Amino acid sequence: MDIYFKTRTGKTFRKIPALRDGAWLNMENVQKEDLEKVSQLTNLDYADLADTLDPYELPRIERHGTTVIIFLRTPRERKEEEILYTQLLTIVIAKKYFITMSNTKDDIVNLVLDKNLDIATAQRGKLLIYLLLLVSQKFTKEVKLAKNSVWFQKKHIKNIDSADIVNLIENEEILNQYTSALVPMQSVFQTISKGRYIELYSYDEDLLEDTIISINQSADLCEISIKSIQSLRDSYQIIFTNRLSKVMKFLTSFTIIMTIPTIIASIYGMNVGLPLAANPFAFWYIMILCIGLAMVFVYVFIKKKWL
Q: Is 156 a residue whose pLDDT tops 70?
A: no
Q: What is the pLDDT of residue 296?
A: 84
Q: What is the pLDDT of residue 80?
A: 66
Highest mean pLDDT (candidates 78-82, 233-237, 272-276): 233-237
Domain C-terminal end among 84, 102, 120: 120
Residues 29-79: tens digit of each pLDDT:
888 988 888 888 888 888 888 888 888 889 999 888 888 899 999 988 777
In a domain, 152, yes or no: no
In a domain, 236, yes or no: no
Task: Round to whole Å and give the CA distance between 115 and 12.
Answer: 7
In a domain, 33, yes or no: yes
Q: What is the pLDDT of residue 307?
A: 63
Q: Is 263 a residue whose pLDDT tops 70?
A: yes
In a domain, 85, yes or no: yes
Range of the domain at 41: 1-120
The dihedral over CA atoms of 133, 113, 5, 88, expressed in degrees to the nearest 10, equals 60
Overall pTM > 0.95: no
In a domain, 224, yes or no: no
In a domain, 32, yes or no: yes
In a domain, 22, yes or no: yes
Sheet with 97-102: list strands edge to edge: 14-15, 2-5, 23-27, 97-102, 86-93, 67-75, 60-64
Q: For residue 11, what is the domain's CATH number?
A: 3.30.460.20
Residue range 208-230: mean pLDDT, rounded: 86
Residues 81-132: tens digit of each pLDDT:
678 888 999 999 888 888 999 888 888 888 888 877 778 888 888 888 888 8
Domain C-terminal end among 95, 120, 145: 120
More confident residue, 14 or 203: 14
Q: Is 155 a residue whose pLDDT tops 80?
A: no
**What distances in angstroms separate CA 275 from CA 94, 224, 272, 283, 292, one per listed residue?**
105, 73, 10, 12, 19
Q: What is the pLDDT of residue 71?
A: 93
Helices (DSSP H) in 86-123: which residue ranges? 107-114
- Find the helix packing angle between 107-114 and 124-155, rounded to 10°: 120
User: What confidence tier does 238 reach under pLDDT thresholds 50, 70, 90?
Assistant: confident
User: What confidence tier does 157 reach under pLDDT thresholds 50, 70, 90?
Assistant: low
Task: Round to whole Å and give the CA distance between 94 and 74.
Answer: 22
Task: Round to whole Å and give the CA distance between 278 and 273.
Answer: 9
Number of domain units in the chain: 2
Q: For residue 283, what is the domain's CATH number?
A: 1.20.58.340
Residue range 188-199: mean pLDDT, rounded: 80
Return the minimum-mean-pLDDT range out of 9-23, 210-224, 251-265, 273-287. 273-287
In a domain, 227, yes or no: no
Domain C-terminal end among 84, 103, 120: 120
Q: Considering only CA atoms, which of 154, 115, 143 is closest in space to residue 6?
A: 115
